[in-house]
Amino acid sequence: METTHVMTATEARVHFGELIRRTKAGETITITRRGKPVAVAMSYAMYQDLKARKAVRDAAAAAAFVTGEGDGPA
């Protein structure tokens, strides 16, 4: 199961090795600056999975647009 944690930008910089270790172990880490989310750190495998899912969604939306069943790509 995926775990999400929050880390400030300063903490991420100071503890970069820990951040890499934790993301490699399957955690997703939201990085904040002045209390607002500015980035997300995740493993490369998770990133690749997100890209693949987006490609499938985009292809389905494009196909629906071509067949007249949708509004086109999001």
pLDDT in tens, 16-52: 999 999 999 999 999 999 999 999 999 999 999 999 9
- C-alpha to C-alpha distance for 33 and 72, rounded to whole angstroms: 35
Q: Exposed, middle or buried by CB within 10 Å (0-12, 13-18, 19+), for 23?
A: buried
Say which amino acid occupies 48.
Answer: Q
CA-to-CA distance for 19 and 61, rounded, in angstroms?
35
The residue-averaged pLDDT of 6-18 equals 97
CATH number of the domain located at residue range(s) 1-42 in this protein: 3.40.1620.10
pLDDT at residue number 6: 96
CB contact at 8 A, 10 and 34: no
- Write down the pLDDT at residue 21: 96
Q: What is the pTM of this model?
A: 0.70
